[in-house]
């Protein structure tokens, strides 16, 4: 696929040989209009959807966060940043994203490595399992948490059944959210990083063995340095997605229960559902969430650009 990717841009630069230009260029204003329509019309619906339903809402939130009743103002920002509850929501979201991403990396990276070295048939079975699990999220997954780790959940009953007095983490607690979030994100991390495991070529390990390196030395000097940027990129992506999760968080923490473990997404949803006078607060929080996501995604791009040099 990469070869096509690199070939097509050249082929598509405007030039006299393109089939569409075989017609003589139109000169009149009407002809000019037709020409523009011919270039853009089939893409117009999609461009409108992008502009009106994706770009405009994002811009409107950014602009809206700098306004109050009197016009331009940074007052909303100051009032959000200096308030305890909102600070807590921002910090908790960041901490949750970082925790989930780190645990995903610690578990997912070895799993991705093992699976990438399997025979194709077995690997396909594993990929299918991860695809299914990675797509099982939201409210259904939240319910599964109650069914397993609730007060009368399967695992709770099983552990208490053997006589251990064990209380599972409440779903709305930080630990509970981490357990829930990991379920979809570990599979996603594995699916994301499996292709990059090909960067580590098998003959490098053979070369290292010839040079009488131990397995630990190989991993420290060759394996990890080559794979590190890919793993870091995976971390950043899981971090970005985790801080934006809403459905599962809502199912685990409940609508009004955003007090126990405040998250930005839950705060936004809460405010919009209950308190119209506080919409400006949700607006600023949205822009903060947006900014975190964009920064993290930019870091992801930079990291990945650095990483792919091993594929050239």
Partner 1 sequence: MSTAGRRILLGAIVVYLILPLVAVFLYSVATVWQSRILPDGYTLEHYVAVAVDPRVQGAVLRSLALAVLVTLIDIAIVVPAVFWARVRNPRIRPIIEVGAAIPFALPWVVIAFGIDRLVGEWAPSWQTTFPVLVLAQSAIAFPFFYWAVDGAMAATGIARLTEAAETCGARPIQILRRIVLPIIRTGVATGTVLVFAVSFGEFALARILVGSSYDTLPLWQAQALLRTDDQLNELAVTTVLSFLVLFALAAWLVARGRSSGASLAAGAQVGTPTEAPR
Identify the burial level of 112 via C-beta atoms within 10 angstroms of its C-beta, where 0-12 means exposed, 13-18 middle and 19 or more buried: buried
Please tell me whether residue 181 binds partner 1 under the rule CB under 8 A: no
Among 73, 153, 169, 173, binds partner 1 (CB under 8 A): 153
Please tell me whether residue 80 binds partner 1 under the rule CB under 8 A: no
Please tell me whether residue 299 binds partner 1 under the rule CB under 8 A: no
Please tell me whether residue 161 binds partner 1 under the rule CB under 8 A: yes
Among 76, 142, 223, 262, binds partner 1 (CB under 8 A): 142
Please tell me whether residue 55 binds partner 1 under the rule CB under 8 A: yes
Q: Shortest Cβ distance from residue 58 to partner 1 (Å)?
A: 6
DSSP letter string, 188-241:
HHHHHHTGGGGGS-HHHHHHHHHTT--HHHHIIIIIHHHHHHHHHHHHHHHHHH
Please tell me whether residue 300 binds partner 1 under the rule CB under 8 A: yes
88 C-beta neighbours (distance < 10 Å), count = 15
**Binding residues among 214-253 for partner 1 as defined by CB under 8 A:** 230, 233, 237, 240-241, 243-247, 250-251
Q: Shortest Cβ distance from residue 76 to partner 1 (Å)?
A: 14
**261-265: long-range contacts at Cβ-Cβ below 8 A with a sequence spacing of 24 or more?**
261/92, 261/96, 261/172, 261/173, 261/174, 261/177, 262/85, 262/88, 262/89, 262/92, 263/89, 263/92, 263/93, 263/96, 263/177, 264/89, 264/90, 264/93, 264/288, 264/289, 265/93, 265/289
Euclidean distance between CA atoms 113 and 183, whole angstroms? 19
Please tell me whether residue 308 binds partner 1 under the rule CB under 8 A: yes
Q: Shortest Cβ distance from residue 150 to partner 1 (Å)?
A: 10
SS3 92: helix
**Binding residues among 25-54 for partner 1 as defined by CB under 8 A:** 38-40, 42-43, 45-47, 49-50, 52-54
Please tell me whether residue 286 binds partner 1 under the rule CB under 8 A: yes
SS3 115: helix
Among 26, 33, 34, 60, binds partner 1 (CB under 8 A): 60
Q: Shortest Cβ distance from residue 276 to partner 1 (Å)?
A: 10
* Length of the chain measured in residues: 312
Part of the chain binding partner 1 (CB under 8 A), chosen from 24-32, 60-68, 74-82, 202-210: 60-68
Please tell me whether residue 178 binds partner 1 under the rule CB under 8 A: no
**Binding residues among 8-27 for partner 1 as defined by CB under 8 A:** 8-9, 11-14, 18-20
**Binding residues among 99-118 for partner 1 as defined by CB under 8 A:** 107, 110-111, 113-114
């Amino acid at each position: 696929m990469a070869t096509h990717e690199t070939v097509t841009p050249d082929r598509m630069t405007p030039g006299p040989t393109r089939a569409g230009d075989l017609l003589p260029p139109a000169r009149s204003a009407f002809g000019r209009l037709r020409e523009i329509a011919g270039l853009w019309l089939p893409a117009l619906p999609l461009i409108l959807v992008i502009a009106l339903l994706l770009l405009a809402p994002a811009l409107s939130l950014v602009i809206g966060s700098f306004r109050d009743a009197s016009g331009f103002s940074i007052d909303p920002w100051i009032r959000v940043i200096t308030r305890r509850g909102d600070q807590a929501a921002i910090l908790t979201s960041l901490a949750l994203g970082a925790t989930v991403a780190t645990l995903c990396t610690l578990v997912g990276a070895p799993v991705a490595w093992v699976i990438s070295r399997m025979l194709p048939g077995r690997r396909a079975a594993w990929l299918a399992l991860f695809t299914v699990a990675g797509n099982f999220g939201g409210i259904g997954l939240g319910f599964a948490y109650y069914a397993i780790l609730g007060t009368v959940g399967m695992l709770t009953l099983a552990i208490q059944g053997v006589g251990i007095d064990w209380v599972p983490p409440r779903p709305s607690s930080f630990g509970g959210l981490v357990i829930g979030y990991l379920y979809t994100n570990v599979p996603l991390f594995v699916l994301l990083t499996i292709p990059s495991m090909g960067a580590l070529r098998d003959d490098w390990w053979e070369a290292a063995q010839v040079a009488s390196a131990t397995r630990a030395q190989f991993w420290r000097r060759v394996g990890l340095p080559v794979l590190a940027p890919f793993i870091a990129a995976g971390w950043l992506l899981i971090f970005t997605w985790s801080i934006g999760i809403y459905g599962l968080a809502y199912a685990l923490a409940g609508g009004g229960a955003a007090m126990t473990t405040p998250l930005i997404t839950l705060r936004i949803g809460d405010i919009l559902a209950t308190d119209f006078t506080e919409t400006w607060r949700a607006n600023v929080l949205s822009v903060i969430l947006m900014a975190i996501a964009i920064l993290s995604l930019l870091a992801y791009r930079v990291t990945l650009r650095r990483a792919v040099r091993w594929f050239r």
